[in-house]
Every structure is written in structure tokens, then in C-alpha cells.
Amino acid sequence: MRSDGRRRRRWSAGEVQEALVISGEIPLWLVDGDDRIAFVNDAAVRTLGYDSDDELLGRPSHDTVHWKHPDGSPYPAEDCPITHATRRGEPIRMERDWWVRKDGSMVPISIHCVQMEIDGRMGTAMTFHDLTASVEAEQERRRYDVERARLGEVRASRTRIVEAADEQRRRLVRDLHDGAQSGLVRIVLALQLALRGGDVPGEVRTLVGDALGDARSAIDELRELAHGIHPAVLTRSGLAAGVRAMADRASVPVVVDVADERYPEPVELAAYFVAAEALTNVAKYARASTARVTTTRTESHLVLTVDDDGIGGARASAGRGLAGLADRLAALDGTLTVSSQPGKGTCVRAEIPLSTPAPPAAAAELDVPPHDIERLA
Ligand SMILES: Nc1ncnc2c1ncn2[C@@H]1O[C@H](COP(=O)(O)OP(=O)(O)O)[C@@H](O)[C@H]1O
Ligand SMILES: [Mg+2]
């Protein structure tokens, strides 16, 4: 009894049914004291894939819609919290459960059950919501997260591969410098010393002189080789100096329009290798009379282009050079574009982000099991 004297009114099952049937879109399910379906509204019939309530009325509730788990294993009534709460006459709310449709497929639902008198005995009224849309949205988000994590892993591994290759190049150049090159320098010094003595016969002098010439050319060749592997000038003096040195050795006149600005080492290296490959291609294939290397800097990117006025027709997919560069740039989140129509020259354009790519969100952080990543791959 309330203090204002008004009596808390008990709603009859009929009244509740009527109200909910009229209000309509919320699926309603009434179960009598024997766990038999006493009433279902149209929304419930539709949600569970039946054609009419006749197919459901009088059937055992749990065994009709709740008899298996989503993985197909049986779900006995004794294990069901709804059944237990119903028997104890307690209300129960389940945020996520799965019921079985007429065709055996599963529908994700949230359920709210309250005790209610039905035909003179205690039964249960259940309202439920079809969660299909939110479950699908959740799965979509998860797929997206997995895909993002996978792409992040791929990018990170590509970056690691490029970094490892660069480190190997650096080591190789150091070894060449400290090993073969310094050995040759010692030979040159020894030969110079040998020639300094006054009593060297003319024939020997000629032979030693030739050997000296050969050793000096070998040093030049080694230096050239080391430069191609990992250009010291780049690390020392930057991209503009590196490109200018390259242009000086090029087979056609090259206009260099590159700012004297320093960038992070991976950016300089990538830009340098693009210029080197593109200028080598100009010499090998373009039949050009001139080429131009240009850089521009946007807020976020270094853009390097190499143009020539040759025969055109370059295709990145036709060889290894440009494709390898595209991979190197991709490791930095950059891009390589080749525009080359026959007869209209070639333009190779690299866009390189100035900041190193953010570390990828690890799959572990996203709570995504590795096999999900594989499945989506
Ligand atoms: N500047 C250019 N002018 C004309 N053709 C080019 C030019 N650059 C590249 N090509 C063509 O595109 C192909 C792909 O170039 P690239 O990937 O560097 O391959 P490669 O490893 O053979 O040098 C070359 O084999 C060549 O036929
Ligand atoms: Mg090439």
C-alpha cells in the first residue's frame, strides 16, 4: 500500500499483452508455468523467422528457441539462466544471448524477463531486442581493426627489411673501405716507393708504373662501387650534393634543382636511390638529350621528380629497378609514380613522407588473435 492510500495495481496478463501488442515493434514472448509459449506478438514471430504465432503457441519455450549455442552445441534447459530465474520468480536481464530461428540460424538478442501471472499461475514475460545490426557493426569494426593491424604489420616488416638492407649496404661499404681499398692504397704507396730508387732498370720501371696505374684505377672503381652501394656523400653532405655528384657523372646534361636542405636519413636515401635509378634508366633507355632532377617540399612530404625528354614508354612493372623503388618508398608510406607516354619523355615522381610512419597498432593491443589475422589475409 502506498502512503497516499492508492493501491499498487496489478496488471492482468491480458492488459499487458494488449498494451505491448498495440505498442508493437518490441518482440514479446509470454511463457506459462509449464514453460510453454502462451503468447507471441508479431514482432517476435518476425524476429524468429516464423510465419505465424500458430507455429509457436503451446510449444516448450526453451526447447523451441534456446536449444543450442551459436557453435551448435546443445543448450539444455537446466543450464539456462532464464529458466532458473523464471522458476525462482526473479527478473533477469541478459545483454547478449542467441536464440534459434525457425530455419535453425541464430539471432543475437538482449532479453528482459519479468514474472507475470498467466492463466492463474506464475509465468514469465520476456521482451527481447534483435541485436543483429549492432553485432554486425561490431564484427565490421573488428574486421577493420584486424585489417589495419595486418597492414601495420606488413608495413613494419617492410620497413625492417629496407632498414636491414641499408645496414648491410653500410657495412659492405665500410668493409670495402677498410679491407680491399686500404690494401690497394698500401700497394700504391709501396709501388711509388719502389719507383723512387734511382737504380730501377727501365723495363721494371715500366712494369711497376703500369701496376701503379692499374692499382689506382682499381681504387677508383672500388670507390665508384662503394658509392653506388651506399653513397658516403649523401650521409656527409645531403641530398643536393649527392644528386649533383650523380649528375656530374651522367651521360646527358642534367639540370639539378634540389634544395640544400637536410632530411631524415631514410628519406634522403630513398630520394637518392630514386634519382640514381631514374638517371641510370635515362642513360640506358631514354635516348634523351637532357634530364632534370627537382625537389619540392610540402609540409609533410619531400617530392622528387626526374624528367627526361627521351622516347618514353617506361613501365614500372617491366623491370626490377622502378618496382624495387616503389617497395622502398612504400616502406616509408611513400609513393612512386611513373608517367611515360611514347615520344613524350618520362617523369618519375616520388612522394616521401618526412616523418617516419607511426608504429602500427599491434594485433595484441587490439585483442585480435593471430589466427584472425591469418583468416582475413
Ligand atoms: N627514362 C626511360 N625512358 C624510356 N624507357 C624507360 C625509362 N626508364 C625505364 N624505361 C623502361 O621501363 C622499364 C622498367 O624500368 P626499370 O624498372 O628501371 O627496369 P630495369 O631494371 O630494366 O632498369 C625498362 O626496362 C625500360 O624498358
Ligand atoms: Mg632500371
Nearest-atom number in ligand 1 for the CA of 325 is 17
Ligand 2 centre to CA of 178 (Å) is 30
Are 215 and 184 within 8 A, CB to CB?
A: yes
> Which residue ranges make up each domain of the chain?
13-130, 140-230, 234-358
Q: By alpha-carbon position, which residue is closest to atom 15 of ligand 1?
A: 319
Look at residue 196 in the predicted model and tell me its pLDDT: 87
Could you give the angle at the alpha carbon of 135 between the alpha carbons of 64 and 374, nearest 5°?
A: 110
Q: By alpha-carbon position, which residue is closest to atom 9 of ligand 1?
A: 314
Amino acid letter, residue 26: I
Look at residue 376 in the predicted model and tell me its pLDDT: 37
- HSE-up of 22 (CA within 13 Å, CB side)? 5
Tens digits of residue pLDDT in 63-94: 999 999 999 999 999 999 888 887 787 889 99
| Architecture of the structural domain at 234-358 | 2-Layer Sandwich (3.30)
Nearest-atom number in ligand 1 for the CA of 320 is 21
- Ligand 1, CB cutoff 6 Å, lining residues: 277, 281-282, 285-286, 308, 310-316, 318-323, 346
Q: By alpha-carbon position, which residue is closest to atom 19 of ligand 1?
A: 319
> Looking at the DSSP assignment, which residues form a beta bridge with residue 353?
301
What is the C-alpha separation between 155 and 140, in angstroms, rounded? Answer: 22
Ligand nearest to the CA of 348: 1
Coil vs helix vs strand at 199: coil
Ligand 2 centre to CA of 322 (Å) is 6
Ligand 2 centre to CA of 181 (Å) is 28
Look at residue 215 in the predicted model and tell me its pLDDT: 94
Cell numbers describing residue 158: 617492410
Are 342 and 322 within 8 A, CB to CB?
A: no
What is the strand order of the sheet 254-257 is part of?
254-257, 291-297, 301-308, 346-353, 335-339
Nearest-atom number in ligand 1 for the CA of 322 is 17
Ligand 1 centre to CA of 319 (Å) is 6
Q: By alpha-carbon position, which residue is closest to atom 3 of ligand 1?
A: 286
Ligand 2 centre to CA of 321 (Å) is 4
Tens of pLDDT, residue by residue, the chain (377 residues):
444 445 566 767 666 666 665 567 789 999 998 889 999 998 999 999 999 999 999 999 999 999 999 999 999 999 998 888 877 878 899 999 999 999 999 999 999 998 888 888 888 999 999 999 999 999 999 999 999 999 888 888 888 888 888 888 888 988 898 889 999 999 999 999 988 877 888 899 999 999 999 999 999 899 888 888 888 888 889 999 999 999 998 989 999 999 999 999 899 999 999 999 999 999 999 999 999 999 999 999 999 999 999 999 999 888 889 998 998 898 899 999 999 999 999 999 999 999 865 555 544 444 444 444 344 33
Are 294 and 258 within 8 A, CB to CB?
A: yes
- The Cα diameter of the chain in Å comes to 136
What is the C-alpha separation between 338 and 307, in angstroms, rounded? Answer: 10
Ligand nearest to the CA of 306: 1
Closest CA to 291 of 302, 301, 280: 280
Ligand nearest to the CA of 318: 1
- Those residues whose C-beta lies under 8 Å from the C-beta of residue 26, and which sit 6 or more positions away, are 20, 41, 43, 127, 129
Ligand 1 centre to CA of 243 (Å) is 20
Closest CA to 222 of 167, 179, 273: 179
Look at residue 9 in the predicted model and tell me its pLDDT: 63
The separation between CA 70 and the C-alpha centre of its own chain, rounded to angstroms, equals 31
Look at residue 84 in the predicted model and tell me its pLDDT: 85
Ligand 1 centre to CA of 356 (Å) is 29
Run of H or E including 140:
helix 132-176
CATH topology classification for 13-130: Beta-Lactamase (3.30.450)
Q: By alpha-carbon position, which residue is closest to atom 5 of ligand 1?
A: 314
- Those residues whose C-beta lies under 8 Å from the C-beta of residue 227, and which sit 6 or more positions away, are 233
Ligand 2 centre to CA of 306 (Å) is 13
Q: What is the pTM of this model?
A: 0.62
Mutate to test the pocket of ligand 1, among 252, 277, 285, 338 (most ligand atoms within 8 A of CB): 285
